[in-house]
Structure 1
Amino acid sequence: MTAIGFVTRTIHGGFRGQLKLLPVYADIDIVPNRDKSGDSSPDFRIFTQGIEVGSGRILTGESRGTEYVSLSVAAPGLGGCKLCANLGRTVGLYGEGSFFLIWNPVA
């Protein structure tokens, strides 16, 4: 698993941290989508410098049946490619509300 960033849970139910790739380093905010209007709407919206660059959905894992957050980011700095990642707990590191952004390459 390749970690491409790090976030911590905020008091408002979202996450704040950094996306770190070789050519890209961006502070990001993952905020709950308060305007969610149905199952097709994302659970989270991702912003950097006030610009929306992606979304996140709460999904349930097939093997364990536990919930996790799946992220999708698309921005000009990524060369027109979509970046997918999941939030993974930092077990034993940085405290209970900390998560790595785990790269999830799309096949």
Structure 2
Amino acid sequence: MPAIGYVNKLDDGSYRGTLRTLSISAALKIMPNKEKKPDSDQPDYRVYANGAEIGGAWIRKNKENGADYVSVSISAPEFGPRRLFANLGRAAGSESDDEFAVIWNPTE
């Protein structure tokens, strides 16, 4: 699947980088949701682009190996009535454990 951006994990648990598609280039921040209540459906992270909140992200478990990963859901006027889904995965060619690709996960 294609990478639509890249982020780096920071010491405070947030991710920062850039979201890039054919028509969008925006500063991306994925920030821990400090208001999340235990056992709620609220996202584990809030997603911001150029300062505007555009979605949420949840920590999920890989069914094959049990490893945690971050699943992202983004909604913005540029996408029309649809949501964009992505996962954070190890950036190809990177040797850093803190560098992630935002991997587009089309639903259809």
TM-score if structure 2 supplies the norm length? Answer: 0.92
Contact 2:6 2:91 in 1 (8 A): no
Identity %: 39
2:18 corresponds in structure 1 to 18
Q: Which residue identity lines up with residue 81 of structure 2 in the other structure?
A: G
What's the secondary structure of 2:78's corresponding residue? helix
Deviation at 1:79, TM superposition (A): 2.0
Matches within 5 A, 1:1-107: 1-38=1-38, 39-90=40-91, 92-93=93-94, 95-107=96-108
What SS does the corresponding residue of 1:34 show, helix, strand or coil? coil
Give the 4+ runs in structure 1 shifted more than 3 A.
Answer: none
For residue 10 of structure 1, what is the amino acid of its counterpart? Answer: L
Q: What is the aligned residue count?
A: 107
**Cα distance, 1:91 vs. partner?**
5.4
Structure 2 unmatched runs, 5+: none
User: Offset at 1:61?
Assistant: 0.9
Q: Structure 2: how far apart are the matches of 1:22 and 1:80?
A: 18
Gaps spanning 5+ residues in structure 1: where? Answer: none
